[in-house]
Amino acid sequence: MDVISVIRTKRDRGELSPEQIDWVIDAYTRGVVADEQMSALAMAILLNGMNRAEIKRWTAAMIASGERMNFDSLSRPTADKHSTGGVGDKITLPLAPLVAACGAAVPQLSGRGLGHTGGTLDKLESIPGWRALLSNEEMLHVLDTTGAVICAAGDGLAPADKKLYALRDVTGTVEAIPLIASSIMSKKIAEGTGSLVLDVKVGTGAFMKNIEDARELASTMVALGTDSGVKTIALLTDMSTPLGLTAGNALEIRESVEVLAGGGPSDVVDLTLALAREMLDAAGIKDADPAKALADGSAMDVWRRMISAQGGDPDAALPVAREQHVVTAPSSGVLTRLDAYGVGVGAWRLGAGRARKEDPVQAGAGIELHAKPGDTVTAGQPLMTLHTDTPEKFEYALASLEGTYDIAPAGTAFTATPIVLDRIA
């Protein structure tokens, strides 16, 4: 085998053989295949796709690159959730402790920011002392004692994906459906969860811009999970508008705590509850009411224990950016559109995301929204506040926000898009 022939096969729209797939994943993991060579192959996959047999084999090779975990020692059934990424998508943060409060164990392996979308680990690391890196033994201990854990995949779990995930972020190949599906499912299958709910985002702020591509991705992942013995379902959810009122790291932590306290934006609460019900049903827990667990504080109790168990201080002050800039409404009327992608890029340019895999992120950077589509606004009213430690980034971020919102005359009818668009099982 040689990597050039593998690249040429996919470049020329050929089908990679099982032997080629096994070899290139193993060789890349060992460092025999260089980053620039894997970048070329990833771009060829983005442009020319993979069939079901290739995706299944690619996923199996990713799993085989490392170890597999087992949660049979737990007294609770396991249920996990994965989002394909969006703007303001902080759902994992209230969801994991909520489902744990209802009786399931939630082993949530999460990632960092990818392109214009935020990363759960980046958000949680804005909490002083919180640790993303846990050994398998530490992960199991936190899961057993609190009911939920959110952490990075260990080096031994699908190490091929860890390398490729970071590479995709900085080479324009994030959107490749075969690579998204195999990346997500290799970790989830190797993780050993008993059931899995997928939140597949659709819209301008998602990697899947239209519902047909989202259905293809969801169906691919549901099939991969089912074939591996993991009960898997997917919800297609709207990502044309940012979720909630914040996009950033510490900003989203604050909003998540509001949800756990019984408040928070209605779209975040609604999607959190919808996913919680799916996870509990998949885990075989039929009599729990997640809405009650939010209202009575039991989900918040799990959150505090989970954060503390990973070294964080749930009472500590969160970082605040040193500089702010307010964007005001240019006219009065009804806000009818707020483009998720523009807001996501703006937050990324302010320092909430990274341009290279080695880049740090600013904990306090991001965008705070003061109105959502359907709201009535007046000229001069704040629409959003930009946060960053580096004010020279404001101009660059403001450029990405040009044309991202529409204000129609007062009295214009507005119909909101449902948060859940479809369900695939």
Q: How far apart are alpha carbons 211 and 200 in whole angstroms?
A: 10
Q: How many helices (H) and strands (E) does the chain have?
A: 16, 13
Catalytic member of 81, 116, 123, 168: 168
Locate all alpha helices (DSSP H) within 206-249, ordered by sequence.
211-227
Catalytic member of 57, 187, 305, 349: 187
Catalytic member of 82, 162, 305, 354: 82
Which token pair is 348?
Answer: 């990324």
Beta strands 148-152 and 246-248: pairing type? unpaired
Query: Which amino acid, residue 205?
Result: G
Please confirm, yes or no, whether 65 is among the known catalytic residues. no
Q: Which helix (H) or strand (E) holds 161?
A: helix 159-169
Catalytic member of 80, 161, 199, 238: 161
Q: How far apart are alpha carbons 193 and 415 in whole angstroms?
A: 38
Please confirm, yes or no, whether 168 is among the known catalytic residues. yes
Please confirm, yes or no, whether 35 is among the known catalytic residues. no
CB-based contact 295:101 (threshold 8 Å): no
Please confirm, yes or no, whether 82 is among the known catalytic residues. yes
Which token pair is 316?
Answer: 């500590």
Please confirm, yes or no, whether 81 is among the known catalytic residues. no
CB-based contact 60:184 (threshold 8 Å): no
Catalytic member of 65, 110, 126, 183: 183
Q: How far apart are alpha carbons 271 and 294 in whole angstroms?
A: 13
Active-site annotation, residues: 82, 161, 168, 183, 187
